[in-house]
Amino acid sequence: MAQIMVERRSIDVVPDEERHGTAFSQFTLWLGANLQITTVVTGALAVVLGGDVIWSLAGLLAGNLLGGAVMALHSAQGPRLGLPQMISSRAQFGVRGAVVPLALVVVMYVGFFASGSVLAGQAVGKLTHLGPVPGIVIFALITAVTAIVGYRVIHALGRVASVVCALSFLYLGGRLLSRADLGHLAHQHHFTLPMFLLAMSLSASWQLAFGPYVADYSRYLPRTTSPRATFGWTLAGTVLGAQWSMCFGVLVAATAGAAFLDDQVGYVVGLGGTGLIASFLYFVIALGKLTVNVLNTYGGFMSIVTSVSGFRGRRVLSQRGRTAYIAAIMVAGTAVAIVGRNSFLDSFADFLLFLLTFFTPWSAINLVDYYLISKERYDLPALSDPHGRYGGWRWEALTVYGIGLAAQFPFLSTSFYTGPLVSPLGGADISWIVGLVVPAVLYRFAGARRNASTPPPAPAAPAAPREQAAAVPGTPEGE
pLDDT digits 0-9 by tens, 343-386: 665 566 566 667 768 888 999 999 999 999 998 889 988 888 88
pLDDT digits (tens, 9 = 90+) for 66-90: 999 999 999 999 999 998 888 889 9
pLDDT digits (tens, 9 = 90+) for 17-60: 999 999 999 999 999 999 998 899 899 989 888 888 899 999 99
pLDDT digits (tens, 9 = 90+) for 229-259: 999 999 999 999 999 999 999 999 888 877 7
| Residue 84, φ and ψ in degrees, nearest 5 | -60, 160
Whether residue 75 lies inside any domain: the answer is: yes
Whether residue 4 lies inside any domain: the answer is: no
| Residue 413, φ and ψ in degrees, nearest 5 | -130, 110
137 residue type, one letter: V
Q: If DSSP codes are grouped into helix, strand and coil, which group holds residue 306? A: helix
Whether residue 16 lies inside any domain: the answer is: no
Whether residue 305 lies inside any domain: the answer is: yes
pLDDT, average across residues 155-162: 92
235 residue type, one letter: L
Give me the DSSP letters along 216-247: GGTTTS-TTS-HHHHHHHHHHHHHHHHHHHHH
Whether residue 362 lies inside any domain: the answer is: yes
Integer Cα distance of 388 and 407 in angstroms: 32
| CATH code, domain carrying 361 | 1.10.4160.10
Please list, in sequence order, all residues whose beta carbon lies within 8 angstroms of the beta carbon of residue 172, skipping any fewer than 6 positions away: 248, 268, 271, 272, 281
pTM: 0.87
Please list, in sequence order, all residues whose beta carbon lies within 8 angstroms of the beta carbon of residue 163, skipping any fewer than 6 positions away: none
Q: How many domains does the chain have?
A: 1
Cross-strand partners of 413: 418
Terminal CA-CA length for the chain: 34
Per-chain mean pLDDT for the chain:
85
Whether residue 149 lies inside any domain: the answer is: yes
Q: If DSSP codes are grouped into helix, strand and coil, which group holds residue 418? A: strand
Integer Cα distance of 219 and 306 in angstroms: 15
**Hey, CA dihedral for 372, 377, 381, 382, is it positive or negative?**
negative
Q: State the residue range of the domain holding 405.
A: 21-452
Residue 316 confidence (pLDDT) = 65
pLDDT, average across residues 311-331: 78
Whether residue 15 lies inside any domain: the answer is: no
Stretch (H or E) spanning 162:
helix 151-179
User: Buried (b) or exposed (e) across 407-437, using 16+ Cβ within 10 A?
Assistant: bbbebbbbeeebbebbeeeebbbbbbbbbbe
